Amino acid sequence: MSKELAITLTIVIIVVLLAIFVTSFVLYRRTPAPKGCENLEPSEEVCGSCKKAGCPIRWGIEKSDEDGKEEKE
C-alpha cells in the first residue's frame, strides 16, 4: 500500500470513529433521563472512599461540600 493511501485511510478511519463517538454522545445527552432519575447525584456510599483525584464526579462532591461549608459560615 502506498504511503499516501495509508495516511488517507488512517485519517478516514479516525474521522469516522470520531463521528460515531460524537453522534453517540449527542444522542446520550439528548435522551431524557427516566422518571425519578432526573437529578441523580453520586452517593457518599460509593464515592466516599475513592481517592481518584482526576474524577469529575469527585470534583462535584468536593465542590458541593465546599458550598455547604460556605453556607454554614
Partner 1 sequence: MNYFVTFLLAIVSSFLVDNVVLSRFYGICSFVGVSNRVKSAASMGIAVTFVIVLAALVSWPIYVFILVPAELTFMDTIVYILVIASLVQVVGLVVKKFSPSLYKALGIYLPLITTNCAVLGVVQENTAKGASYAYAAADFGTAMANALGTSVGFLVVIVLMACIRTRLEAANTPKAFKGLPIALITAALMALAFMGFQGIGA
Q: Which residues bind partner 1 (CB under 8 A)?
A: 1, 6, 9-10, 13-14, 17-18, 20-21, 24-25, 27-28, 31, 33-37, 40-43, 45-52, 55, 57
What are the angstrom distances between the C-alpha of 54 and each of 20, 50, 51, 60, 68? 26, 11, 9, 11, 22
Q: Which is nearer to partner 1, 13 or 67 (CB)?
A: 13
Between 3 and 69, CB nearer to partner 1:
3
Q: What is the CA radius of gyration of the chain?
A: 21
> What is the chain's length?
73
Residue 67 beta carbon to partner 1: minimum distance, rounded to whole angstroms: 19
